[in-house]
Amino acid sequence: MKVLSLNYPKQAEDEAKVNKLVNYYKRNQEQEAMNDMNSLTVPRIDMSKIAGEAAPFSIQYAQLWNRSVRFA
């Protein structure tokens, strides 16, 4: 992850680093990522099946509160 770090405000060498990483991605990864993305399909959601499945507000709020306390 150190390789991906940049200093702010960005300097000329930081811009060169970003351009180098973007070019590397386009040269080595972009086509494979596009092929993977185009090969995957996601079925449509049938809203009639999930209409009554929503959790009550109090349960949703409790889950969000627990996450915020745990990850804060």
What is the token pair recorded at 38?
């185009």
CB of 53 closer than 8 Å to CB of 36 = no
Which phi and psi angles does 56 have, rounded to 5°? -60, 160
Q: How far is CA 54 from the centre of its chain?
A: 24
Taking residue 11's Cβ as centre, other Cβ atoms within 10 Å add up to: 11
pLDDT at position 72: 62
* Spans of all domains in the chain: 1-41
For the residues 10-20, what does the mean pLDDT come to? 86
**pTM confidence score:** 0.44
Q: What is the pLDDT of residues 22-67, one digit of tens each?
A: 999 899 888 898 899 889 888 888 878 777 777 788 888 999 999 8
